Amino acid sequence: MFELENELQKSFRGAEMVCRDGKVLFQRATGYADLANQIPNTAETKFASASAGKVFVAVGILQLIEQGKLRFEDTLGSLLDLDLCRIDPLVTVEQLLIHTSGVPDYFDESIMEEYEELWVDFPNYRIRHNSDLLPLFIHKEMMYQRGERFQYNNTGYVLLAMILEKVTDMEFDSYLRGHVFDLCGMGDTGYYELDRLPAKCASSYIYDGATDSYRTNIYSVDAKGTGAGGAFITVPDIARFWEGLLNGKLLSPGMVSRMLRRQSGEGADAAEGYYGYGVWILDRGEFDIPYFQGCDPGVSFLSEYHPGKNILTVLVSNYGDNVWEEMRRIREIMY
């Protein structure tokens, strides 16, 4: 669509796709996957997606619930063979899913501005499994009493991934490969170690104002993604994920409806909205619009589905460019 291309940010670097009724209306890839060697981003480039991976963990947990292997009301204390220290053992699976658990967040976004601050005293190369994050939160006190309020929480999804591993006796990413990615035909999506990246993965870049240059984020994020995020994706794979989710390949229609419905949050920030299971929910009058997003140093991601217009958008940047501004422009034109 010429109108879309004309209105979107000319400086955006990454990959974008807008679909309606399953047909691609607009798609482009810009910028470099490898800046030093000037290898361009393409539709096949695998991008880091930060917290967007929470949606995959949520689907895995909901699958186990539908299979009767887990219940929303099951508690941390009954599920994990782990000394929870000062964490309330009565925190439930549902409270973890909807960010009302109060468990100590290893990256509390309300008080920490940059994710890379975590690795000043704790080497990021140690983080290759969910359990590797335990030292960053296990001895901390609860942030508030379980169920008291909504507060976005990364630790909650690390614990959900550990629960998934305990129930299935599989690494969480292996489970997601077999029960989410493969079912949707997401052949290029996975959790990769930064020092063992497969072909066609984009490096993620952070601008250094002092030197007017870019550095990669290899010392700024986990060496491998966890339940809190870190999956590598392609834009077409995210479209396949939405298709699989909405068409019943992953969950029953009833569970999908529950997943994409408001479960927590007060909607005080209209730009952010409410929370379902692994997804955010925007209030747009007649229709609630589910979306999921991610932001890390050098990484920004957003994907949104408008059920009334059957429009799907996927935006990702490996330079941390403003996908939220890009989405605002798309809404103005398409909605």
CATH number at residue 150: 3.40.710.10
CA torsion sign for 142, 146, 148, 153 is positive
Query: DSSP per residue over 212-242, as a string?
Result: TEEEESTTTS-SS-BTTB--EE-HHHHHHHH
How big is the CA angle at 111 (ends 109 and 114), to the nearest 5 degrees? 60
* Mean pLDDT, residues 2-7 taken together: 79
* Mean pLDDT, residues 136-150 taken together: 97
pLDDT at 232: 98
For residue 139 the two structure tokens come to: 């001895």
pLDDT at 152: 95
Burial zone of 183 (CB within 10 Å; 0-12 exposed, 13-18 middle, 19+ buried): middle
Query: What pTM was estimated for this model as a whole?
Result: 0.96
Query: Phi first, then psi: what are they for 24, rounded to 5°?
Result: -75, 120
pLDDT tens per residue across span 94-108: 999 999 999 999 987
Distance, in Å, from the CA atom of 46 to the CA atom of 69, rounded to the nearest integer, reads 33
pLDDT tens per residue across span 260-307: 999 999 887 888 999 999 999 999 888 999 999 999 999 999 999 999
What's the helix, strand, coil split of the chain in %, to 5? 35, 20, 45
pLDDT at 221: 96
Is pLDDT of 111 > 80? no
* Contact assessment for residue 175 and residue 168, using Cβ atoms and an 8 Å cutoff: yes
Unique residue bearing structure tokens 């994050």:
133
The more confident residue out of 114 and 317 is 317
Distance, in Å, from the CA atom of 37 to the CA atom of 39, rounded to the nearest integer, reads 6
Element (H, E) at 175: helix 172-176
Buried b / exposed e across 189-215, counting CB within 10 Å, b at 16+?
A: bbbbebeeeeebbbbbbbeeeeeeebb
pLDDT at 107: 85
Distance, in Å, from the CA atom of 324 to the CA atom of 286, rounded to the nearest integer, reads 22
For residue 227 the two structure tokens come to: 């339940």
What SS3 class is residue 152?
coil
For residue 87 the two structure tokens come to: 């964490």
* Contact assessment for residue 256 and residue 268, using Cβ atoms and an 8 Å cutoff: no
Q: What is the DSSP letter of 1?
A: -
Is pLDDT of 5 > 90? no
* Mean pLDDT, residues 51-80 taken together: 98
pLDDT at 115: 82
Residue count of the chain = 335
Grade residue 118 by pLDDT with cuts at 50, 70 and 90: confident
Is pLDDT of 1 > 80? no
Grade residue 4 by pLDDT with cuts at 50, 70 and 90: confident
* Mean pLDDT, residues 121-147 taken together: 95
Give the total number of structural domains in the chain: 1
* Mean pLDDT, residues 216-245 taken together: 97
pLDDT at 51: 98
pLDDT at 185: 98
Is pLDDT of 255 > 90? yes
pLDDT at 178: 98
- Domain residues for 47? 2-334
How distant, in Å, are the alpha carbons of 13, 33, 36, 218, 315 from that of 39?
13, 6, 8, 18, 20
Q: Where are the beta strands (DSSP E) in 234-279?
A: 274-275
pLDDT tens per residue across span 154-190: 999 999 999 999 999 999 999 999 999 999 999 999 9
The more confident residue out of 5 and 330 is 330
pLDDT at 74: 98
Query: Phi first, then psi: what are they for 286, rounded to 5°?
Result: -65, -30
